[in-house]
Structure formats: structure tokens, C-alpha cells
Amino acid sequence: MAERRTCTVILPTYNEEANIADMVLSLREMYPDLHILVMDDNSTDRSKELVDALGLENVRFTVRDKDDRGLTASVCEGITIAGTDLFVNMDSDFQHPLEAVGRIYEELNGGCDLVVGIRTDRKALGFKRSAGSWAFHVLASSILFVHGKRRSKDIMSGLFGGDAEIFSKVVTEQGSRFEMKGFKVLFDLMRYAPPDIKTGEITYEFGKRAGGESKVNPRIVHLTLRQCGIVGRFFARIYKALFIR
């Protein structure tokens, strides 16, 4: 039997004291063999204090460079410093179910280079975010198709896992072309990944945030759409007129 590969769960965070300690503890209890890496974007709350107080092995809390902030930047740095064979990226607010981590890990161990979590119920997003997410997905999928890259049913997903060696190389060689302050990290990774990677998908129900407030707002969706070329900027103008006052 082939040896199972090591894996790090990456948790990009900013001011998540309402959730982060419970998330780390829950992950450790459910997956004692996995590593946990909290990539904190210079939180101003007690996030680090609460995680450090847990005193758990194989849990790292990294406070990022204050001049290099951004969700995509946090995830990309996490991939490059994970130090394991595989990684799984997820939110730290319990909107992504913990059991999905195990299913992604199994798919990666089965030979996939990238596994994406597909949301089956997006009611928790709300209408505005759902509309922006759908528009971005259509545009991003078209761009990936034109460039001959692998696609997914949910390119906006924040729940995904991959081969750390492959995607560390992608970040190192192509990271300067990423929108590091954006929220579309999966799209950037897929856009610049080798075209022959083996991809897989799992489905999950997107839940409600356990505590705290979401960092995503209509303005972020608007900026994300703008990053998808001429057509994206057209949709961004429509979205701004409808939802941003």
C-alpha cells in the first residue's frame, strides 16, 4: 500500500477571534495527523493569543507582512511554506464543513493534483454575492477555456486542495501575475497551473458563518469582476450600478 502523503490545512484569517480557536481545535480533533497553518493578515484582535493558548502540536500561526496584505497573498504564501506534500485551503468561519477536508484529502491521495469543493446550496451567500459570484464564474471559466486550462464548476470556491510542490512552483514562477489583494485565488492558481494537471471535485453545502462578520462585501465582488478583462469590466459596471451606492 502506498504511503499516505502529509497534508497542511491552510486557514487564511483576519480578525477571526470569534471562530479561529474553535476551528483549529475542531480540525485537530477530527484530523490529528494533519498540520494546521493559520495565515493571519495582521489581525487587530486576539486571534493569535487564542490559538497560541491552545498549545497544540503541528499548529503554526503566521502573522504576515503588513505591507503584503490580501487573501490571495495569504493563501499563496501558505502554500509555499506549508512544508507538506499536500495542502487544503478553507475558511476559518465554519462555512466550509470540516468533513469536506477529509474527502479532499482522500481525492488528493488518490492521485488528483487539484480538488475543488463545489457549493451545492449558496443561500448563505445572499443574492448580491450570489449574482457577483455567478458572473465571475462564467467569465473565469471562459478565460480558462480559451487558455486551454482545466476548469471547475465553482471557480470562486474558497475550499480546495492541491499538490504543494506543483502549486508552490506556480506561485513562485507566476505569482507576480496574480491579483494578490483579490479573493479569486483558485482562479489564479488554475489559470497558471500546467494544463495537464489531474483535477477532481467534491460537493458540499455552504453554511452560515458561525461568528463574527464576513469580510466580503459588494465592493470586493465589483473589484473581482474588473479583473476579468474587457467583458469583466463591463459586468463590473452593471454590478456597481445595481448593488453599490
Per residue in 15-42, pLDDT (tens digit) is: 999 999 999 999 999 999 999 999 999 9
Reply yes or no on whether the pLDDT at 122 is more than 60.
no
**136 part of a folded domain:** no
Q: The CATH number of the domain where 72 resides is what?
A: 3.90.550.10
Does the residue 229 lie in any domain?
no
82 part of a folded domain: yes
In a domain, 20, yes or no: yes
In a domain, 73, yes or no: yes
Report pLDDT for 238.
84
Query: What is the domain count for the chain?
Result: 1
Write out the residue range of the structural domain in which residue 13 sits. 7-127+152-209
Answer yes or no: is 245 within a domain. Answer: no
Question: What pLDDT is recorded for position 184?
Answer: 81
> Per-residue pLDDT tens for 45-91?
999 999 999 999 999 999 999 888 889 999 999 999 999 999 999 99
pLDDT at 97: 94
Percent of the chain with pLDDT over 90: 59
The 10 Å Cβ neighbour count of residue 42 is 13
Give the pLDDT confidence of 178-199 residue by residue, as tens digits.
888 777 899 999 999 999 999 9
pLDDT band at 110 (very low <50, low <70, confident <90, very high): very high
3-state secondary structure the chain: CCCCCCEEEEEEECCCCCCHHHHHHHHHHHCCCCEEEEEECCCCCCHHHHHHHHCCCCEEEEECCCCCCCHHHHHHHHHHHCCCCEEEECCCCCCCCCHHHHHHHHHHHCCCCEEEEEECCCHHHCHHHHHHHHHHHHHHHHHHHHCCCCCCCCCCCCCEEEEHHHHHHHHHHHHHHCCCCCCCHHHHHHHHCCCCCCEEEEEECCCCCCCCCCCCCHHHHHHHHHCCHHHHHHHHHHHHHHHCC
pLDDT at 1: 36
Q: Which cell goes with 38?
A: 493559520
pLDDT over threshold 80, residue 209: no
Q: Which residue has the higher pLDDT, 138 or 121?
A: 138
Task: Report the pLDDT averaged over residues 106-132.
Answer: 79
224, pLDDT greater than 90: no
Residue 46 lies in a domain: yes
* Number of neighbouring beta carbons within 10 Å of residue 36: 21
Residue 100 in domain? yes
Which pLDDT value is given to residue 125? 56
